Structure 1
Amino acid sequence: MLLAGQLAVGGLVRPGWLRIVGTTIDEVGEGAPPAPEDEHTDGLIAPGLVDVQVNGGGGVDVQDGDRALDRLDLLALDHGITSYLPTLASPDLERAEEVAAAIARRAVDPDSPVAGLHLEGPFLAPAHAGMHPLERLRPPPSELPSWLRWPPVRLVTLAPELPGALALIAELRRRDVVVSLGHSGASLEQGAEAVAAGATMVTHLFNAMGPLRHRAPGLPGLALVDPCITIGLIADGHHVAPAVLELVRRAAGERVALVSDASAAAGLSEPPRASAADAGEARPPGGPTTLSGVEVYLRADGTVRTATGELAGSTLTLNVAVRRWTELTEASLPDALRAGSEVPAGAVGLASGIRAGLPADLVVLGQRAEVQRVMLRGRWRF
């Protein structure tokens, strides 16, 4: 297939073309295509989006298993996401094992955008637990438990200041599991020790985290200045104030990985477009939904909160996060697209971009980042 149009490549938008052979991008060029194109699009052709923190969406919770994942796969494709990590927040481990098995099956299924599992917790600081139930938290173990050896585990969020955390970080990295620091009150020095042990990300910067102080910069300060850290960031204007989002962009914009932290309330009002297949049973808008089994509520201001008022994920989808990044900061659309695709992909060991040899995972976007078409592994899904 020869596809031509405006391409988002290397932080720029320019006319060009790409040849797709099977599931892979075979060639990419600038200007007019070398032969009559099979398709020409008026939209912007960009790398498929990559979301490394998805708790739910469309009224379903990741922990609900296969039927929920059916719906989340469709919801992801509807919003231009060609790879995502279903996320379990300090889950009940018996239930989580069943969900992990379902995720493992999808991670090797070419028709699914699932790319692995994100375990957010349970090794979190109680003072910064956020919506995570305190009774589910636990200290890092001296030996790696069997559930951290589950095949689909790709990303683990933990608090580096907990006793035993550094040894756990080193062991996870030895097993090629990416470690992100979050739900933490760590000092800058404790965070730096964790990076030296192998941590490479920070989970939803500023949220459920000790503050940035001018004499005690903590984990936020480390994230802003350490070039080894990829910064997970929720750009909805609720979790982080717009002025602070712009501060992050100016200090470390090239390391920002936009995440949705989507809860079951994300995308509730939208019917799936990507397939007519059974999309799973969704809860109706307006009632309570769950996030890893915790009951949460959609507020009139667009936030999702627990009964006690803690923020509990978001209603974002990643294409909206890309658009909001350009609206709330001075980021260009190409830079925002990179923050929603290549940066998060690289952080968790996935391939993303419009270059020869990479998977043909693409999204065609309109002027407001609305999704017009999605290609997964060389096949248009809608």
Structure 2
Amino acid sequence: MTAVPQRAYLGTRKGLFQFDVDAAGAWQLALVQFAGDPVSMLLHDGRDGALYAALNLGHFGAKLHRLDAGASAWQEVAVPAYPAKPEGSSDTVDWTLRQIWSLAAGGADQPGVLWAGTLPGGLFRSSDRGDSWQLVESLWNAPQRAQWFGGGYDVPGIHSICVDPRDSAKVLVGVSCGGVWQTVDGGASWALSATGMRADYMPPELDENEAVQDPHRIVRSAGAPDALWCQHHNGIWRSRDAGWHWEEVTTAPLSHFGFAVAVHPRDGDTAWFVPAQADVLRIPLDGALAVTRTRDGGKTFEVLRDGLPQRHCYDLVYRHGLALADDGRSLLMASTTGGAWYSSDEGEHWQTISAHLPPVYAVCFSTP
């Protein structure tokens, strides 16, 4: 049986906050690291226990740090680096790393392999735990990249990386705004796989163009890897065939708009979402924060509110602001206005673990 998590990390606008469970079973703030620095992304690598924290230091650039299991000191490692743009290139994107927007571990058979999604849209691979990185040129050089454009930022970005646990050579990535892409050969070649998605922000004749879709976040069930869920700019989609085709889910209550999604690690029909008002407001509906959950593949949903603020609430949960532990029951959620909540029972009840954090970009569970 998978253990209940005892440690959580929250990457915020002003540092990395570590929360631990105390002897009484309550979550307590235990440590603040990188104080004052924006922490844009986190990864706990379950293969070796290492924790990675990506920093976005503005004028000083992006940085990446690794904390090895059992260690007390962080080690700065390499960051992805773009090659020089060829002279005469018509590409309007600046070939410079702006931010590490996603991190993912390779398969269990690939110790040391990491993937990093970045702004302005490059995917990078490391084979040595982040000590060096290589641009995945096959995706960067795809002709369709010329159609990509900014979604959450003013340049395209890769925010979701899903490695197939059955075959580490199969990787799916989500791009805002550039659709869904898959490789079946470890990154040697790529194919669009956003069939079924719809972009209402495009002219009608282009709304099904796979290369301009805006998937806000994509997650894969580790124990049922053919099941993927997507919170898209224009709704909720799910896939039953490993992400090659997508079906729109129209039964979600409150709103079809949002950013975060989590899927059960063993039951691909169970997923959680955090609805928000589309499109300009981006706040909870009626000032009341809620999580929605489906347990039957999107046929029906439940609205979960117990313990969440229900009056004058303006919390938005970003793409990486919702995490589900390997036990399939423990959820961690944090917002742009510094609220953080934990649920031990699949979202039925929530407890506030902090209401005064800086804006939260990413959360993850870890092991002490």
TM-score (norm 2): 0.28
Q: Which structure shows the higher strand fraction?
A: 2
Q: Which structure shows the higher helix fraction?
A: 1
TM-score (norm 1): 0.28
Q: Which structure has more RCO (C-alpha within 8 Å, separation ≥ 6)? A: 1
